[in-house]
Amino acid sequence: MKEELLKLMLEYTSQGINTDKKLMDKIIEIVVNYQELNKYVRKISFLDKSPKEKEWFNVAEYQPALKKLIIHTKVLSDVLEESIETKLFFNPSEKNLYRNVMITQIMLHELEHANQWKTQNTLQDTSLEAQIIRACNIIDFALQSPANIAYAIKSGKGKTLKNAFFHDTVWTIHKMDPRERLAQIHSHQLIIELLKEIPEKTPFVYLIEHLILTKEYLKNYKEAQAKRTCPTEVYLYDIACPKEWQALPFYDEDTKTLLKNVTETLSLKKRLSLGLPISQEEYNKVKSQQIL
Using the predicted structure, report yes or no on whether residue 204 has a pLDDT greater than 90. no
Q: Over the stretch 24-37, which tens digit does the pLDDT of each residue have?
A: 999 999 999 999 99
| Residue 62 main-chain phi, psi, to 5 deg | -110, 130
User: pLDDT tens digit string along 138-192?
Assistant: 766 655 555 544 444 444 433 343 444 444 555 557 788 999 999 999 999 999 9
Alpha helices per DSSP H over the chain: 2-15, 21-34, 73-85, 92-121, 128-143, 146-154, 161, 172-174, 178-195, 203-218, 221-225, 231-238, 242-246, 255-265, 268-274, 280-287
Strands 68-72 and 43-47: parallel
DSSP state, residue 36: T
Residue type at 88 in one-letter notation: L
What are the beta bridge partners of residue 46? Answer: 71
Q: With contact defined as beta carbons under 8 Å apart, do 198 and 205 qualify? A: no
Average pLDDT over every residue of 193-202 = 82
HSE-up of 94 (CA within 13 Å, CB side)? Answer: 20
**How far apart are alpha carbons 155 and 152 in whole angstroms?**
5
Domain boundaries, the chain: 1-125, 126-174+220-292
> What digits encode the pLDDT tens for the residues 226-285?
888 899 999 888 777 788 899 999 999 999 999 999 999 999 999 999 999 999 999 999
Give me the pLDDT at residue 280, please: 93
* C-alpha separations of 208 from 20, 93, 240 in Å: 23, 15, 37
Give the residue-averaged pLDDT of 104-128. 94
* 1-125 belongs to CATH 3.30.2010: yes
What is the pLDDT confidence band of residue 43, given thresholds at 50, 70 and 90? Answer: very high
